């Protein structure tokens, strides 16, 4: 892919795609070339569509992975090669949209209580308390903690957007205790061996170990703490638009997805039957 790879990487950079997205997209196109053993610019529309079908039916990739692959191929053919969508169509696979599994407040408590290492506990507390993505929590700087306004600054989150989110009073107490012990200089949570941010995979392993010790069997990774943050705020009465800003969602529709998983919101609804002024009927 030599020259084509360079062109695609350039196109991704100038359009502001994240490093993670750039690596993933280039990998998809490289896999396509290996599958056909031909340069991808020599493939037909039918070839590419057949490859997407192969990912779905034979490799049985998850819906999100297939969508990402199709998005990468669209980018390559439409942006890098300049093909018109009307002439070279790559449909995005549609699949069932699953509701996220949500940790209850009691489960979050059990999970945090199961962590004895102070650094690990504060990491998970910060993830839940502020609704952070794993890529965001590992890159929090000491200077991002604003104890005067009780906010945490998230720099260049998903979509390369800065935002502010909540700084919990309880988390602040734990952060000050953590600071006295570990004395972080730039990054709040650093690698064990180097003064660089903790690797997201390490944070994920910390979560999985805590979940196992807590006896929690719900399937899912550390992102479940972000889901719990949003859902628990909704159940406490926080409006969707505020939660959208805290989470850094570009569209309020994404945040509104959590309305489907809030138990209290469902329980509080009144059936329309209960609002009808029906006359009583005498027994037969």
Residue that wins the pLDDT comparison between 264 and 141? 141
Radius of gyration of the CA atoms of the chain, in A: 23
The confidence score (pLDDT) of residue 36 equals 95
The answer on 205 and 159 residing in a single domain is: yes
User: Domain range spanning residue 109?
Assistant: 105-267
Give 246's contacts (C-beta < 8 A, 6+ positions apart): 130, 131, 163, 165, 166, 233
CATH number at residue 256: 1.10.443.10
User: For position 106, what pLDDT does the model report?
Assistant: 93
> What does the pLDDT look like over 70-102, one tens digit per residue?
999 999 999 999 998 877 888 777 655 666 678
pLDDT in tens, 237-255: 888 889 899 998 878 877 7
Q: Is 149 exposed, middle or buried (0-12, 13-18, 19+ CB in 10 A)?
A: exposed
pLDDT (tens digit per residue) in 106-125: 999 999 999 999 999 999 99
Question: Are 60 and 151 in the same domain?
Answer: no
With respect to residue 280, please indicate whether it lies within any of the assigned structural domains: no
151 and 18: one domain? no
Q: How many distinct structural domains can be found in the chain?
A: 2
Q: What is the pLDDT of residue 164?
A: 93
- Domain assignment present for residue 228? The answer is yes
Together in a domain, 173 and 221:
yes
Q: Are residues 47 and 181 in the same domain?
A: no
Question: Do 62 and 163 sit in the same domain of this protein?
Answer: no
Whole-model pTM: value is 0.68
Q: Are residues 139 and 62 in the same domain?
A: no
Residue 49 domain-assigned (yes or no):
yes
pLDDT band with cut points at 50, 70 and 90 for residue 64: confident
Residues noted as catalytic: 133, 158, 223, 226, 249, 258
- pLDDT at residue number 194: 85
Q: What is the mean pLDDT of the chain?
A: 87
């Amino acid at each position: 892919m030599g020259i084509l790879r360079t062109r695609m990487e350039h196109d991704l950079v100038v359009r502001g795609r994240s490093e993670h997205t750039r690596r993933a997209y280039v990998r998809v196109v490289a896999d396509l070339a290996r599958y056909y053993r031909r340069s991808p610019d020599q493939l037909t529309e039918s070839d590419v569509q057949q490859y997407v079908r192969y990912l779905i039916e034979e490799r049985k990739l998850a819906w999100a992975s297939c969508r990402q692959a199709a998005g990468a191929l669209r980018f390559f053919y439409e942006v890098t090669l300049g093909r018109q969508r009307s002439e070279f169509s790559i449909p995005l696979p549609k699949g069932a949209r699953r509701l996220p599994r949500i940790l209850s407040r009691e489960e979050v408590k059990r999970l945090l209580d199961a962590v004895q290492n102070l650094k690990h506990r504060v990491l998970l507390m910060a993830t839940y308390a502020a609704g952070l993505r794993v890529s965001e929590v590992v890159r929090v700087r000491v200077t991002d903690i604003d104890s005067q306004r009780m906010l945490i600054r998230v720099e260049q989150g998903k979509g390369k957007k800065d935002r502010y989110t909540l700084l919990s009073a309880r988390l602040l107490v734990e952060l000050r205790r953590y600071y006295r012990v570990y004395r972080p200089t730039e990054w709040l949570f650093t690698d064990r061996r180097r003064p660089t941010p903790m690797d997201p995979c390490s944070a994920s392993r910390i979560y999985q170990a805590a979940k196992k010790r807590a006896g929690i069997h719900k399937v899912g990774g550390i992102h479940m703490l972000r889901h719990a943050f949003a859902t628990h705020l909704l159940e406490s009465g926080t409006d969707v638009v505020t939660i959208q800003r805290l989470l850094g969602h570009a569209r309020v529709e994404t945040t509104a997805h959590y309305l489907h998983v809030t138990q209290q919101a469902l329980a509080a609804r009144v059936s329309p039957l209960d609002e009808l002024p029906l006359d009583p009927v005498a027994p037969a």
